[in-house]
Amino acid sequence: MTNFVFETTPRIICETGAAAKLGTLAAELGLRKVLLVTDKGLVQAGILAPVLDGFAAAKVAVEVFSDVQADPPEASVDAAVASARTAGIDGVVGLGGGSSLDTAKLVALLAGNPQALPDIYGIGLAKGPRLPLIQVPTTAGTGSEVTPIAIVTTPTHEKKGVVSPLLYPDIAVLDGALTTGLPAAVTAMTGIDAMVHAIEAFTTRHKKNPLSDGLAIKALELLFFNIRKVIADGGDLDARNAMLQGSMLAGMAFANAPVAAVHALAYPLGGHFHVPHGHSNALVLVPVLRFNAEVARRSYAKLAAIILPGQVFASATEASNAFIDAMDTLVAEMPFAQRLRDVGVSETDLPMMAKDVMAIQRLLINNPRDVTEADALALYRSVY
């Protein structure tokens, strides 16, 4: 028997239109005034209007913080925490993509128990209690609504994580209708991000377990067979819901069986060049798959059976190669830049990025194959 511990968000609601009920859910948690953490794009898109109406109907007051920044820098998180304290809120609602959800986690934690961000980077260093927290994703990518991780960009452009069970929200609300207006490029980036979560959770060197495996497999199935649909027709609500649920399942998987080299190589792209996280992952995914194949072929062969059903392969190596080729084809179809040179990276930046990767040992130790600085540099060069 495999010994393991599995943790996740205690209450998950998957329902079209559920975002309008957030006020009722907040009232059920005993909240009287919440900080709604989101970004300006969602405010301008009018997504907040029915949400705020729901809070008013439930007689729960709302203070809106809409200054969330992508790859949230420490200063942005601190500003949100200051806003929460000034407003005297007793709970937090995160509404948006991964940056909004990660910021909301940290606001609930730091407003509930003041502590300096730099002191809690790492695993299990955060101290509770935190304020009640509801998370509502508007992208099918990070799975942040079911993970105990919040990623912050430091003043030195490093990506650092706060990892603690305290960051699991009380309630996660998945409403596919919130994602129908996403542009195709954002849909593609976030969808590939979620697939990376599933693949890396399934092949991780540490904490892999039967429950995370099952979730990762189902997540990859939902994501792979629906991503082309939502890019072709952003209003396909069934496919949107499938993507959102796949992202959540992948989040559950990697929260318990952690990600590895794809994410490690992606972080310098976000920290230094502000490439969106999902796009960063997509740029380095296939090179890392090919790099890992010699030790991960059996796992990749199992994933080939999920995304290439009915195909018969002569060996695990053949199946593994077919899986990688299928992912290569999918990424190449996505409506975003495919090379590092096209996202503002110069060839002289590659050694600096490879060096930065070596500092992300918390992820590299999970990779099926050891990664050296020379390996990281070669991987970057292969996609430059």
- Specify the pTM: 0.95
Q: Do 173 and 46 belong together in one domain? A: yes
Query: Domain with 42 in it: what CATH number?
Result: 3.40.50.1970
Predicted confidence (pLDDT) at residue 64 exceeds the cutoff of 90: yes
What's the structural domain count of the chain? 2
1 — pLDDT class (breaks 50, 70, 90): low
What average pLDDT does the chain have?
96
Taking only the tens place, the pLDDT of each residue in 249-285 is 999 999 999 999 999 999 999 989 999 999 999 999 9
Q: Residues 302, 219: one domain?
A: yes
**What percentage of the chain has pLDDT greater than the value 90?**
96
Give yes or no: residues 219 and 169 share one domain.
Answer: no
Q: Which of 283, 9, 315 is nearest to 137 (CA)?
A: 9
**Tell me: the pLDDT tens digits for 159-169?**
899 999 999 99
pLDDT over threshold 90, residue 2:
no
Q: Are residues 198 and 265 in the same domain?
A: yes
Domain that holds residue 117: 11-179
